[in-house]
Each structure stands twice: as structure tokens, then as C-alpha cells.
Amino acid sequence: MTVPDPLPALAAQTIELPSWAFANSGTRFKVFGQPGVPRDPYEKLADAAQVHRYTGVAPRVSLHIPWDLVDDYADLRRHAAELGVSIGAINSNVFQDDDYMLGSLCNPDPRVRRKALDHHLRCIEIMRETGSQDLKVWLADGLNYPGQDDLRARQERLAEGLAEIYAALGPEHRLILEYKFFEPAFYATDIPDWGTSLLHCLALGERAMVVLDTGHHAPGTNIEFIVAQLLRVGRLGAFDFNSRFYADDDLMVGAADPFQLFRIMNEIVAADALRPGSGVNFMLDQCHNIEPKIPAQIRSVMNVQEATAKALLVDRDALRAAQTAGDVLRANAVLMDAYNTDVRPLLAELRTGQGLDPDPVAAYARSGYGERVAAERVGGVQAGWGA
Ligand code: PSV
Ligand code: MN
Ligand code: MN
């Protein structure tokens, strides 16, 4: 077996947390409030910093604007630094206002398009104020009925809007463009798939990259193929990791299908895209509706680490030899050997070596943080929909 030591790669890995995962969230049927949830973006960062404290690999937090509105972003940036974290991607939210009922950048009304553009320009200012490098664009734009609007005209409006946004970015910034095949629109979504996202990115320039949200595909889609394809052309900008059983469920990554997560991370490792600086931002996009949020984020980070560790244990030489020899069963066995390895002792060793508790969930529970904030904080905010 010729596998390099996985510990250095695991030690260098980072995972970005979503601010909204720490706020109250739910389905369209009910939002269950939890005690101690953050009342503002400052407290969301404090909770995210707990995840980093016990895992050591979650040093950035994505913000969603306007869910995370504050008066002074330089102050929020300082607050993050004091907590040992930094601001990650800025998500431009152009789906909450009544004005956006028929879309944002694709809306047939130029006034609404202008409003959506101006919001993105404000998000770019916030990137400058917070030191964020990624503008993450996900649009809820789409159609519910055939004939409702002109499909091609909407693509032209989209291309025009994205070009204006891209031109406003600094050379240190990236535009990362997310796709989703349905919801909230049910007949046609304006950026439904990786191909549409990639076409727009290619037209924009080399700092435009695709975001792959694992929950945004039809059931049965081979997501690792998309990962491999985007890596080939250097346009995989980021993941929004989560799990789905049926639709865009936003459950904990690795909970529904840990084997899929392994297959994705296997493509990442095979293409040497795990390295910091490889251009792929590993983010979570999840909501914890019935489970406690901070431990759920800790568990999610650990699930990504476990899948990564298994991918790093794939014997690449043996795999290539079996593939070259056309040995189907051997090639599959090499992959499955890695997947079936219990990597928990390895990750415990990693954490101990970093001065962390080998069991982050237990260490967090022992800290008493959850009980403390439940006593201190009254009136936590809702993550988004309806907020
Ligand atoms: C849309 O479903 C999405 O995945 C986008 O990333 C949004 O920004 C996010 O959810 C909000 O949770
Ligand atoms: Mn997402
Ligand atoms: Mn989603």
C-alpha cells in the first residue's frame, strides 16, 4: 500500500460555516424556536467561533445580506478577528422583497433589475469592508408557467446584470455562481444547472466560478461527475455542502449519503484540489430545524473531515494499476477499502496533535456554552424566510 500520510492534508483543510445555520429556521409549516439562538450577526459569529474552537478547521463564516445587516462592517470584521474567525463569502439575497416576485436580475421590469444590481454593488462594498473574497450569487429567478416570460430574453438580462456585477469586483474578488434545478420556481429556473452557470462564468472571466450545492440536483444525479468536469476546466469555485433525501433538504452533510460525500471528496483529492489555494471553497449551507445548531455544525464539519480522510486513504497507485489493467473488481475494491476504513482514530490523532479534544462534540457539550447562551439570550432571530 502506497498512501502518503493524510495528516498534513487534513490539518490544512478548511470548511466555511453559514451564519444562517445558527439562527432559527424551519420549513414553510413551522419554525421551531430554540433557546439561546443568536439575536444578531455578532452572536452568530460567536456561535460559529465555537465550531472552530472545537474542530480547528472552520475559520470562516459566510454572511447573507440582508439577513446579516449591521451598521458597521469594519466593526463586525474586528469582532470576528477577536473570536479567531474571519468573514467568508458574502451572499447577495435578492429574493425576499415583494419587488422580486417575478425575479431579480432576470425580471422583465428594468427598475427591479436595477434594484437587484444595486444590492449586489452594496454587497461588493461589504466585501471590501469585511475582507471577504467571494461574492456568492444565487438567484431565486424563474418561471412557474410556460409562456410566463421569454426564456432567452431572461438569459440576456442575466448575462448583462452579471457583467455589471463582475466589473465592479476588485482583482482580489471572485464571483461564485450557484445553480439549482427548481424552487422557488417550478417550471423553469434561470440558472438550473452547472452548464448554465458555467456558460455565464466563461463569458464573465476567469474569476467567475461555479458553486455546487449538493442539494440542488435531481435525485440520482452523479454529482462527482460534475465535480470532475468543473475541476477539469478550473471552474469549481465552491461547494455548498448539505444532505438531501428528497429535495433541497439542507440537512447535515454526510447524514443522508456518506458514500456520495466520499465519492465527491475522492474527485477533489484525485485532482489535487484539496490544497488551500486550489480555488475550491468548502462551505456548508444547512439549516438545523429540530437539532441543536452548534453541535450540528460540529458534526457536519466532522463528517466532511471523515469523507476527506477516506479519500486521502485511497491507494492511487493501486487504483491506477487496476484501472489500466482493466481490472474492474480490483479497482472498485481499492476504492471501497478506503471508504470502509474507520478514520475516526486518525482524526482523533489529528486533533490531539493540534491541542484539541479528540471528541469535539463532547468537548463542546462539556463547555457549558449552550446553557450559558440559553440563559443570556432572549429573542433569537430567524434565519431567513419570513425574517
Ligand atoms: C438556495 O436554496 C440556497 O442554497 C442558496 O445558497 C441560498 O443562498 C441559501 O440556500 C440560503 O440558505
Ligand atoms: Mn446553497
Ligand atoms: Mn439550497
pLDDT tens digits for 65-120? 999 999 999 999 999 999 999 999 999 999 999 999 999 999 999 999 999 999 99
Q: Residue with the nearest Cα to atom 2 of ligand 1?
A: 248
The reply to whether 156 falls in a domain is yes
The reply to whether 125 falls in a domain is yes
The reply to whether 333 falls in a domain is no
The reply to whether 83 falls in a domain is yes
* Domains of the chain: total: 1
pLDDT computed for residue 1 by the predictor: 65
Closest ligand 1 atom to the C-alpha of 213? 4
Q: Residue with the nearest Cα to atom 11 of ligand 1?
A: 285
Q: How far apart, in whole angstroms, are the C-alpha atoms of residue 94 and residue 99?
A: 9
The reply to whether 387 falls in a domain is no
What DSSP letter does each residue of 29-65 carry, written as one string? S-B---TT--SSHHHHHHHHHHHHHHHS---EEEEEE
**Which of 210, 213, 243 is the pocket-test mutation for ligand 1 (most atoms within 8 Å of CB)?**
213
Q: Residue with the nearest Cα to atom 5 of ligand 1?
A: 138
The reply to whether 332 falls in a domain is no
Say how many Å lie between the CA of residue 287 and the centre of ligand 3: 10
Mean pLDDT of 373-387: 75
The reply to whether 114 falls in a domain is yes
Per-residue pLDDT tens digits for 235-277:
999 999 999 999 999 999 999 999 999 999 999 999 999 998 8
**Which of 27, 139, 240, 243 is the pocket-test mutation for ligand 1 (most atoms within 8 Å of CB)?**
240
Ligand in nearest proximity to the CA of 287: 1
Say how many Å lie between the CA of residue 372 and the centre of ligand 3: 31
**Is there a cis peptide before residue 66, judged by omega within 30 degrees of 0?**
yes
Say how many Å lie between the CA of residue 325 and the centre of ligand 1: 43
Residue 353 pLDDT > 80: yes
The CATH number for 286's domain is 3.20.20.150
How buried is residue 167: exposed, middle or buried, by Cβ count under 10 Å (0-12/13-18/19+)? exposed
Say how many Å lie between the CA of residue 221 and the centre of ligand 3: 16
Say how many Å lie between the CA of residue 216 and the centre of ligand 1: 9
Complex prediction ipTM: 0.98
What CA–CA distances, in Å, run from 156 to 115, 151, 159, 200, 339? 17, 9, 5, 10, 44
pLDDT computed for residue 218 by the predictor: 97
Per-residue pLDDT tens digits for 310-344:
999 999 999 999 999 999 999 999 999 999 999 99
Spell out which residues line ligand 1, taking CB within 6 angstroms. Answer: 20, 91, 138, 178, 180, 213, 240, 248, 285
Contact 173, 133 (CB under 8 A): yes
Q: Quick one: which of 71, 209, 176 has its CA closest to 129?
A: 71
Which residues form the domain of 251? Answer: 13-313+358-376
Q: Quick one: which of 103, 192, 205 has its CA closest to 154?
A: 103
The reply to whether 331 falls in a domain is no
pLDDT computed for residue 387 by the predictor: 38
